[in-house]
Amino acid sequence: MAKGIREIRRRIKSVKNTRQITKAMKMVAAAKLRRNQEKALAARPYADKIQEVIASIASGTTGSKHPMLQSRPVKKTGYIVITSDRGLAGGYNGNMIRTVIQTINEKHKSKDEYGIFVLGRKGRDFFTKRNYPVIDEVTGLPENPAFSDIKKIASAAVQLFADEQIDELYLCYNKFQSAISQVPTVRRLLPLEAPENKGGNGANYEYEPSAEEVLADLLPKYAETLVYSALLEAKASEEGSRMTAMGNATDNATDMISRYTLMYNRARQAAITQEISEIVAGANAQA
């Protein structure tokens, strides 16, 4: 009985230590979530303005003929998949990877028909171990990524489309809705759909040297901006998912401690009752 009580006591101590870790990780994830949300919001004005300018040019007859706005027969498709470098984030990576695999299985019959650009160690490890055609990868992204951290892989993907080595490019990421809701999203990045010109302010732009040249320069930057915006959303989703997972782990640890404490008290009470019974039995034997 004493051995059982000591084992329960060790389990309670172990679970308490685990609860301290998960509680700390939840607090850290909450702080990172706030920072990533703020950064995503700060990036929106730039994305909105470049979209406004592109819409203004693309609404003309010459701008709409740019190759990045034109569809062509699809022989090969590219996927930019954003995952995390670390785990302990609930279903964040698993849900994203399952969505990508489902999309690939529905659209392709051969590995020659697609290629994957991976951001994040979890996605890289999954796809490389299973011999998926990984074209390029980026791992070890900082907690607060800058545009320069993903510019190389985004530019490479856009350039492959421009060189007609791939005919479609999709962006796969977890779209942030709230700390407890992240939606795996597969969005077509290229060919770009000409952004709608909402008008409203009726602004007129003058372009130098020409509207076509400005559009040719802005469209790749616009595509790269979409990748960066998706990365910021994915980072916020990652920390939201991690915060939720660590919160659930902390709550589960508390429940386990309550159950083990009840078991400990019952075992301790049984041991005391047994000792009293032995003492009474010994006294009666001597009487």
Interval 124-163: pLDDT, tens? 999 999 999 999 999 999 888 888 899 999 999 988 998 8
CA–chain centroid gap for 210, Å, is: 40
Q: Output the pTM of the full model.
A: 0.84
CB atoms within 10 A of CB 88: 14
Interval 230-268: pLDDT, tens? 999 899 999 999 999 999 999 999 999 999 999 999 888
Residue 279 above 90 pLDDT?
no
Residue 21 above 80 pLDDT?
yes
Query: Under CATH, which architecture does the 26-245 domain have?
Result: 3-Layer(aba) Sandwich (3.40)
Angstrom distances, CA of residue 155 to CA of 118, 190, 226: 14, 12, 12
Interval 57-98: pLDDT, tens? 766 544 456 777 778 899 999 999 999 999 999 899 999 999
Query: What mean pLDDT value characterizes the chain?
Result: 86
Domain ranges of the chain: 26-245
Q: What does the alpha-carbon distance between residue 281 and residue 261 come to, in Å, rounded to a whole number?
A: 30
